[in-house]
Amino acid sequence: MSPLYELLYQGDFFNTTFGKSHCLIKAGLPQVVGELEPEDVLDLCCADTVSSRLLIQDQQDNWQLHHSPLDPDLLDETLSDPELRCSVLVQNLENWSLPLARLWTHFCAPTWLQDDIMVSYAPPGGSVGPHFDAYDVFLVQLHGKRHWQLGGFTQPDTPLRSDQPINLVSDIGGVVFDQVLEPGDVLYVPPGQIHHGVAVDDCLTLSFGLRSPSAATLLDHALGELASSDSLSRPLMQNAEEFSNLLTSGSALTPDLVNQIKDSLIELLQRSDQADWSAALAKALSARRFSYEPEEELASAEEIEEALNSGYLLIKEPSTKLIITLSPDAVYCAEEEVVCASSQEFELLSQLAQSKSLGAECLVSTSALKLVEWMERGIVTLLEPE
């Protein structure tokens, strides 16, 4: 494996550093070098089905933001204008590069926490401006060099520039890190820490982002799941005695009455079924951020069987979040349960969810016909033998 993996797996990183302070791992992920060239990203970013952005900075430090589908002519004009600086960002790289998707195994992060890999291309001087993110991110230098400065952590009153189309801070604060990253270097930045990376030369940087769902997102899914349960669908004020002393306060919803109702709702949520919560959280965490398009010509059951018998491996589709719950044992993908016909099928999907690759032995646990269905839903795919 890599020095990054050694540090995360064997070290004390998740206890001492994660979420708290930045960390540089020099030559932490050498496997990344050579996996992409700037031209690959410039070709990919204008494709119809890609989620990409073009950021342009003029000499007065005013910014423009363009979303995909990007206009190739605008991109060419921007790159050839000596008065402009720019960055090109492409999300969900897992969908476009299997070798890059497989690099997630170096991060020791549970699969339900992995968000997506983004690549940013910038010619010399290009950046996305000083900013902060609400999630943990590992920045991996893939090509060329980038000069990184890290500042303080944001506070509720940290001012954002109001005149720009992207979230930028006007002041990075006291600089606590100031170094040039080279190919293979990894820089971990915790949520809220202001960072600014400027390309020294033609450079590519990968961002391995971790998920940070808001309480609102999780509650939204939870309420959707729980709303149909018996305990939550019956009238709240069935026990009139509980509320009787508060119902004499005229027409107003008094603070006491509001608190009484809130407490009753919280108590109902606390007593609600564990299985409903498992399903709700699994649906929330398995949601796709980017649409998935199955291949136009799917392999037949016979072709899949033949491929597995000739050395192909079955893996989880790299951009898919496959979430497993225990008690009850269940599998979720793209906010839906993947119904398993047997405990062997559940075990098979559990292994794939842990980024394991399986050979022809997987046909003992499920049928090739089921694999066709899973491929169509973007749950699994085949990995060519090396």
Nearer to Fe ion by C-beta: 55 or 299? 55
Edge-to-edge strands of the sheet including 330-333? 322-325, 330-333, 336-337
Going by C-beta distance under 8 Å and a sequence separation of 6 or more, which residues neighbour residue 81?
none
Give the residue closest to Fe ion by C-beta. Answer: 133
Is the CB of 197 or the CB of 378 nearer to Fe ion?
197
**With respect to Fe ion, which residue has the nearer C-beta, 190 or 318?**
190
- What is the closest distance, in whole angstroms, from the C-beta atom of residue 131 to Fe ion in the complex? 6
The least distance separating Fe ion from the CB of residue 13, rounded to whole angstroms, comes to 20
- Tokens 């390309």, residue? 199
CB of 137 to Fe ion, least distance (A): 6
Distance (Å, rounded) from C-alpha 261 to C-alpha 122? 54
Q: Which is nearer to Fe ion, 183 or 197 (CB)?
A: 197
Q: Which one, of 334, 322, 323, lies nearest residue 288 by Cα?
A: 334
CB of 352 to Fe ion, least distance (A): 30
- The residue (of 123 and 130) whose beta carbon lies closer to Fe ion is 130
Nearer to Fe ion, 85 or 370 (CB): 85
- The vertex-269 CA angle with 257 and 275, nearest 5°, equals 165
CB 194 → Fe ion: shortest distance, Å? 9
| Shortest Å distance, C-beta 195 to Fe ion | 6
Min CB(129)–Fe ion separation in Å? 10
Closest approach, Cβ 133 to Fe ion, in A, equals 4
Question: Of residues 114-153, which lie at the interface with Fe ion (CB under 5 A)?
Answer: 133
What residues have CB less than 8 Å from 187, skipping those under 6 apart?
22, 23, 24, 25, 138, 139, 148, 177, 181
Give the span between the Cα atoms of 60 and 65, in whole angstroms: 15
Q: How far apart are the C-alpha atoms of 257 and 91, rounded to whole Å?
A: 47
Q: Does 225 bind Fe ion (CB under 5 A)?
A: no
CA distance 375 to 291: 15
- Are 305 and 367 in contact by the 8 Å Cβ rule? The answer is no
Of 154 and 320, which CB lies nearer to Fe ion in the complex structure?
A: 154
Are the C-beta atoms of 200 and 141 separated by less than 8 Å? no
Total H helices, total E strands in the chain? 13, 16
# of chain residues touching Fe ion (CB under 5 A): 1
Closest CA to 350 of 323, 376, 380: 323
Cβ distance to Fe ion smaller for residue 166 or 301? 166
> How far apart are CB 310 and Fe ion at their closest, in Å?
43
* Closer to Fe ion by Cβ: residue 116 or 133: 133
Distance in angstroms (rounded) separating the CA atoms of residues 199 and 384: 35
Residue among 90, 180, 85, 191 nearest 131 (CA): 191
Q: Rule CB under 5 A: which residues touch Fe ion? A: 133
